[in-house]
Structure 1
Amino acid sequence: MLSVVSPGPNFAIVTSTATLRSRRAGVATGLGLAAASATWALLAVAGLGLIVTQVEWLYLGIKLAGALYLIWIGLRMILGARKPLAAAPDTLESGVFASARKGYLVSMTNPKALAFYGSIFAVMVPAHAPAWFYAAIVSIGASVSCLWYCGMAVLFSSPSVRGGFMRFKAVFETLMGVFLLGMGGRLLLSR
């Protein structure tokens, strides 16, 4: 739970999507993040998380992809900060699915998630636990992520919070873009 609630790219992407787009898009992003948590948990209980953390080129590939993706999203936010919001409602294809996919990709390329599930999580899970135990771990990981991120999407898309942020849309979007750009740059430069 502590890993989920600590600020990072996942938090930034769900709150900015909920605030700047819509509640539906924010919740879809939260569901994408939860699906990624389920994927990471499944990889960890299958033992693949440990492999990813031990195979340097694979870890570096995920880290590089994550860094470039965060930089790309950050640049798009900065460049679009001064543009007015589109009044068109989300369509299923462009809004919900794109938001869920964005959340999933941000989390799957997040080295914090890789470190958590690939090391601490994989080491703490017993090697010969019953199948129900593994299923419970995946379900709990996805549920905690879903509750937190979808809750944040609902909170940040509420009229009062959204209204306050919308008055400062350009500043908020620029700051979130700079934050994501900085996280991506930090990933590129880290060892």
Structure 2
Amino acid sequence: MIEQLSGPLTAFLGIAALVIVTPGPDTAVTIRNTLAGGRAGGLATALGVSTGQSVWALATSAGIAALLVASEPLFLAVKYAGAAYLVLLGLQALREAWRPSAGVGGQAAEGGRAARLPARAAFRQGVVSDLGNPKMAAFFTSLLPQFAPAGPGGPARFEDLAALGLLFALMTLLWLAAYTLAVARVGDLLRRPPVRRLLEGATGAVLIGLGLRIATERP
């Protein structure tokens, strides 16, 4: 049984790793929140993203995600809501980049640093940004059944699909956590007002671009 599963599992891990390391909305939000909230903000965002993916994984295993993908009005509603949220986060980043007192003056916390994004808010942003991307539903419904063993005389079992989906979420958490630690390691340099404003502006532009791309892409 183990030998039968090792091949498909290895293939799944390879595909999952390739998808996860490809930069996208989740990566952009994590980087932005690491800059805004430090290591705690980045890790909270990574946990939020993986939580959102876990919800998609369980919804896929229960067949709910397939209903979302099949319903064009519902799919579009989630897509546009998620795209609008990314654009909103991008606009907030641009506002921080252009704010004259960013990182200094009255907006600064003790030590000259800007007030940090609370971990709870970072976690919420991670969850919402991932749940607002219905492409995750389409991705999971097309990917997971290819690697889950078929049940007795029928489709794959709930627990097998859920295990693969939760494994994907765990891999995402580990990758984004590593990303967070790398960014936080040079956090003092990145939080210098000129550098921070440049990165906030770049991240904001990326988030807005990703939001517009999601909104205009065909299912």
2:33 corresponds to: 17
**Greater radius of gyration (CA):** 2
Can you list the C-alpha shifts for 1:106-156, whole angstroms capped at 9, x where unaligned? 111124423311333355545534555344224312211111111111111
CA contact (8 A) 2:44 2:120 kept: yes
> Which of 154, 163, 166 is matched with 2:191 structurally?
166
Structure 1 residue 49 corresponds to structure 2 residue 69: no
Shift of 1:6: 1.1
Number of corresponding residues: 186
CA contact (8 A) 1:44 1:122 kept: no
Shift of 1:184: 1.3
CA contact (8 A) 2:68 2:74 kept: yes
In 1: Cα distance, 2:183 partner to 2:167 partner: 24
Where does structure 2 lack aligned partners over 5 or more consecutive residues? 1-15
Q: SS of the residue aligned with 2:98?
A: coil
2:178 corresponds to: 151
Q: Point out 4+ residue stretches in structure 1 off by more than 6 angstroms.
A: none
User: One-letter code of the match for 1:114?
Assistant: A
In 1: Cα distance, 2:71 partner to 2:20 partner: 25
TM-score by length of 1: 0.86
Shift of 1:45: 1.0
CA contact (8 A) 1:33 1:103 kept: yes
1:8 corresponds to: 24
In 2: Cα distance, 1:109 partner to 1:130 partner: 26
CA contact (8 A) 2:40 2:119 kept: yes
TM-score by length of 2: 0.76
> Which of 27, 48, 52 is matched with 1:32 structurally?
48
Which one has more relative contact order, counting CA pairs under 8 Å at least 6 apart? Answer: 1
Note the 1:1-191 alignment, pairs <5 A: 1=16, 2-83=18-99, 84-85=102-103, 86-87=108-109, 95-122=118-145, 124-126=147-149, 128=151, 129-130=156-157, 132-158=159-185, 161-167=186-192, 168-191=195-218
Structure 1 vs Structure 2: percent identity of aligned residues?
Answer: 31
User: One-letter code of the match for 1:187?
Assistant: I
Where does structure 1 lack aligned partners over 5 or more consecutive residues? none
Q: SS of the residue aligned with 1:110?
A: coil
